[in-house]
Amino acid sequence: MANVAAHFAESESRASEPTRQPRREQRIASAFRVEVCGFNRHGRFFTERTLTSNISDGGCQLSLHVEVEKNSIVALRVIERRNGCELDSRPVLFQVERMVPQASGWTLGVSKLQPVPVWGAEAGQPSFLAPVS
């Protein structure tokens, strides 16, 4: 009887664990040059340029050297160049959903908070793609 109770308790604890929901959007392995602004885990403002490693309409994955808090808000701006000049693009707000420590910083999963296009691919403009070597 004790084995049955232990098995039941174990099943209950597994049932109460949150299950990861499947992603709703298709993800594309694509490197976009972005500028990320926000506040680090010590409350200091930072700006860092980096590349995305994959994107979707609802978010992306990227790496940062600075540590931020999970659930914090960051502003992401795609850096587009034409004729050697950087074009202005509007920053879009994202929420940090996931943080994984790496040897030289952090890999972040962020989700978009504003219903606006970010990557240009939504408008059929692949010119934002950064060359990956």
User: Cα separation of 111 and 37, whole Å?
Assistant: 15
CB-based burial label for 55 (10 Å; 0-12, 13-18, 19+):
buried
pTM assigned to the model: 0.72
Domain boundaries, the chain: 25-128
6-10, 60-64, 126-130: range with lowest mean pLDDT: 126-130
Q: What is the CATH number of domain 25-128?
A: 2.40.10.220
- 87-132 tens-digit pLDDT: 778 999 999 999 999 999 999 999 999 998 888 755 444 444 444 4
